[in-house]
Amino acid sequence: MTAALEINDVHKWFGSHHVLDGFSLRIESGEVVGLLGPNGCGKSTVLNIVSKLLPYDSGQVRLMGKPLNELSYRARELVGVCTQHCALYPDLFPAENLHFFARLYGLSEKERHERVAELMRLFELGNFAKTRVGQLSGGWRQRLHLAVSLIHRPKLLVLDEPTAAVDLEARMDLWRLIEGLRDSGTTILLTSHHLAEAQRLCSRVALMRNGKVLAVGSVPELLARMPGQAVAKVQSEDSEAVVQRALGLGWQVRQHADQMRLLLPQLLSLREIVDALEGTKVSAVSVLPVTLDDVYLELMGDDLTPPSTI
């Protein structure tokens, strides 16, 4: 079966900076794949290459089975792009923005009117039909931005940190909309700093660092790679004593920044953990099942700031 997007061993330099170092990823039709990684790891460069905004130096990218560098500028019809910055026309009404972009994609008049009406309804923009886009709140503008990126029914939707610039409520709304797109079979490649976003929306996640993919898989597959099923975060005046006790119990210990994390073989209660660490001057402890945050930290190592969680 032809993949919606296939990226093989792609390299990209900006001057002497090797931004993509053998990046590879395959996305099947209908999948939602999240690209996660620290700032500067090359996520946006991947999206810019897929959107035909940037050329790549070597490797191969195939969009709907066709080599990307052999496709004309009209290949942009295959992709819809939505970034965190709402690039819309503030003096126009929402539907006028949609009509403008629909015409750029060459939709016929009948098709254009139907599609604009459909998206206005789907994204619940009807109440703002006579509001200039510049007067909409950030969340509603981002909603419209997402609608614009879908105006031409793209084969692949590229979302570059789509909820980064909106408040929590708007983010939840956008998540529901993206879930709706996912459930209707839209193929999506998204980058995010919110691991919870990836965990909620993505069928697979690719963790990136230094221009390459460190791990890729579904969230349960990635969680299964962790050497534990739960993580206890511990504060103690005598860290060394905690480490020795934990190792003695067969637990693994991780130190990220100033935080000590104990990887537990199964989810234990707080009481069980406190009892196990008795006499090690523990002042605070919390415990949760492993999440994508933990996988991320495990794979990325100790020397970086983890992306935010909600």
Shortest gap between Cβ of 132 and another protein (angstroms)? 7
Q: Are 165 and 87 in contact, with CB atoms under 8 Å apart? A: no
Under the binding rule (CB under 8 A), the answer on residue 3 touching another protein is no
- Beta carbons within 8 Å of 10's beta carbon, 6+ residues apart: 20, 22, 23, 24, 46, 49, 56, 58, 59, 60, 61
Under the binding rule (CB under 8 A), the answer on residue 100 touching another protein is yes
Nearer to another protein, 109 or 124 (CB): 109
- Beta carbons within 8 Å of 170's beta carbon, 6+ residues apart: 137, 138, 139, 140, 142, 143, 163
Q: What whole-number distance in Å separates Cα of residue 189 and Cα of residue 3? A: 13
| Identified binder of another protein from the candidate list 9, 57, 91, 237, rule CB under 8 A | 91
Under the binding rule (CB under 8 A), the answer on residue 166 touching another protein is no
Under the binding rule (CB under 8 A), the answer on residue 74 touching another protein is yes
Under the binding rule (CB under 8 A), the answer on residue 89 touching another protein is yes
Which of 297, 296, 217 is CA-nearest to residue 33?
A: 217
> Which of the 8 DSSP states describes residue 229?
S
| Identified binder of another protein from the candidate list 57, 58, 67, 85, rule CB under 8 A | 85
Q: Are 78 and 68 in contact, with CB atoms under 8 Å apart? A: no
| Identified binder of another protein from the candidate list 65, 104, 244, 286, rule CB under 8 A | 104
Nearer to another protein, 111 or 118 (CB): 111
CB atoms within 10 A of CB 243: 18
Under the binding rule (CB under 8 A), the answer on residue 81 touching another protein is yes
Residue 251 region by backbone torsions, left for phi larger than 0, else alpha for psi between -120 and 50, else beta: beta
| Identified binder of another protein from the candidate list 77, 118, 272, 293, rule CB under 8 A | 77
Nearer to another protein, 85 or 153 (CB): 85
Under the binding rule (CB under 8 A), the answer on residue 66 touching another protein is no
| Identified binder of another protein from the candidate list 3, 59, 92, 122, rule CB under 8 A | 92
User: Could you tell me which stretch among 71-79, 165-173, 193-201, 219-227 binds another protein (CB under 8 A)?
Assistant: 71-79
Residue 125 region by backbone torsions, left for phi larger than 0, else alpha for psi between -120 and 50, else beta: alpha
Under the binding rule (CB under 8 A), the answer on residue 13 touching another protein is no
> In DSSP terms, which residues pair with 286 in a beta bridge?
233
Nearer to another protein, 3 or 105 (CB): 105
Q: Are 59 and 67 in contact, with CB atoms under 8 Å apart? A: no
Binding site residues, another protein, CB under 8 A: 48, 51-54, 73-77, 79, 81, 83, 85, 87-92, 96, 100-101, 103-106, 108, 132
